[in-house]
Amino acid sequence: MGKENFVEQIADINQDFPQWYTDVVIKTGLVDYGPVKGTMVIRPYGYAIWENIQKELDKRFKRTGHKNAYFPLLIPMNFFTKEAEHVEGFAPEVAVVTHAGGEELAEPLAIRPTSETIFGSMYSKWIQSYRDLPVLINQWANVMRWEKTTRPFLRTSEFLWQEGHTAHATEKEALKETKKMLNVYKEFAENCLAIPVITGRKTEKEKFAGAVATFGMEAMMKDGKSLQAGTSHYLGQNFAKAFDIKFLDKDGVQKYVYTSSWGVSTRLIGALIMAHGDERGLILPPVVAPVQVVIVPIAQKKPGVLEECKKIKRALKNAKVRVELDDTDSTPGWKYNEWEMKGVPLRIELGPRDIEAGKALIFRRDTQEKVEYSLDNLAKSVKQLLKTVQQDMLKSARVRRDNRITYAQDIQDILYGVENGKFVKAGWCGCRECEDRVKAETAATARVYAEGEQSETCAVCGRKAEHTVIFARAY
């Protein structure tokens, strides 16, 4: 392989987006395929993104009063049958342990696809009185859903996620929690991932199996398709009744609790890649980038160059910038390509002439601009620039997305919109037949209700519209 032109190994983003995605995730070392079909190995560069995501989210969960815990991986199969919709939704995807310790088990055990049931069984034990409420617990865990078609980060049999499970005395409080966590996700997606998201309620067809209502956040990928980046479910008393989670209220009456659950997963890494990447590879927002700044020395064998680079590296480290100095033997051009493919937000180029002039060139991955900065106070400039990049990435993603939202009056409009990579808003009567027809004729699904918007008529049947829905093809 010729080192100078290795960027050509990535498929053209405009010609073959799926192949571009696969090339990028594998060639930047984010992920590799595991030995079992449908599994992935999250390599250090990919896992470092997940660690940054975890750190930011965990801070937010704790700030909103949640505590972490860890519940078992294995769930008795009969737990799933206790909530009728839940078993229907998850049973077909479950992986089952039938043997352990050299013996066949008396009852087969499911590897958790999600943990409402096992949280429910413990909550029924722990919750006795109104004084025990609310219970606000989150867990970081692996889950497993056996899928026919898999793609790294987007859909794999095993993935990492967090799942919050809360119990409350009243419907009002549980619903408030459901929406609060949706907003936590939205704020995080925008400020940390630089991905603008549309949040809203999902249709009955698209809701979580066992929920009363599911709220989702949808992000537009560069091909115009939508990616469900997180969900928050209001579960009403469905799981409380299935698992007998009751409390003695202040008025002396035994009541069922109201529960919520909410989660985001390593899918977010897929969202990052497809929301920001370009023909050269990844573009990572500084808040979650494993490496925020790479220093590339020019003519590195000339006296003083590496010393100055190391000095800058130390200064950036002290300023808590995640920085790498690439002093390998490759040419600067090869290094540029490699670190651009890896999506590092800023590159500092420094050669003998720069040092003499007391300047450094800084290249921005997001805008491809090169700007000269004084070596004095470089760490401060870099920190400021990282903030700017973070904000600008959100702004441009928002402009890109807003330019690709359209309105449809009929099903032809919807088809035309999604064929052109757009999110399409359209009136919907609320009936399942019309929703299914959209799917059948356009391959688009109802993503979320467009909140606060009112359409006159259903784009499918022409009857009175109950909701305005955002339709899109989705991952």
Contacts with a second copy, residue ranges (CB under 8 A): 32, 34-36, 39-44, 46-48, 50-51, 67-76, 79, 91-102, 108-109, 111, 118, 121-122, 125-126, 137, 141-142, 144, 146-148, 157-158, 160
Biggest alpha carbon distance in the chain?
82
Closest CB to a second copy among residues 341, 378: 341
Q: What are the tokens at 31?
A: 């992920």
Closest CB to a second copy among residues 161, 407: 161
Closest CB to a second copy among residues 108, 332: 108
Question: Dihedral through CA 415, CA 419, CA 421, CA 425, nearest 10?
Answer: 0
Q: State the nearest-atom distance from the C-beta of 150 to a second copy, in Å.
A: 11
Place of tokens 């939508």: 226
* β-sheet bridge partners, residue 350: 297
* β-sheet bridge partners, residue 34: none
Closest CB to a second copy among residues 271, 355: 271
Q: State the nearest-atom distance from the C-beta of 249 to a second copy, in Å.
A: 18
Distance CA 192, CA 150 (A): 27
Q: State the nearest-atom distance from the C-beta of 147 to a second copy, in Å.
A: 8
Closest CB to a second copy among residues 181, 414: 181
Q: State the nearest-atom distance from the C-beta of 291 to a second copy, in Å.
A: 12
Q: State the nearest-atom distance from the C-beta of 98 to a second copy, in Å.
A: 5
Angle between helices 171-191 and 44-63 (to 10 degrees): 140
Distance CA 85, CA 169 (A): 23
Burial class (CB in 10 A: 0-12, 13-18, 19+), 320: exposed
Q: State the nearest-atom distance from the C-beta of 115 to a second copy, in Å.
A: 11
Task: Provide the 10 A C-beta neighbour count for residue 391.
Answer: 14
Distance CA 236, CA 257 (A): 8
Closest CB to a second copy among residues 45, 407: 45
Cβ 262 vs Cβ 232: under 8 Å: yes
Closest CB to a second copy among residues 56, 158: 158
Among 172, 136, 162, CA closest to 258: 172
Q: State the nearest-atom distance from the C-beta of 447 to a second copy, in Å.
A: 26
Q: State the nearest-atom distance from the C-beta of 126 to a second copy, in Å.
A: 8
Place of tokens 């002039």: 357
Closest CB to a second copy among residues 48, 361: 48
Question: Dihedral through CA 171, CA 173, CA 178, CA 181, nearest 10?
Answer: 180
Opening angle at CA 98, ends 94 and 102, nearest 5: 145
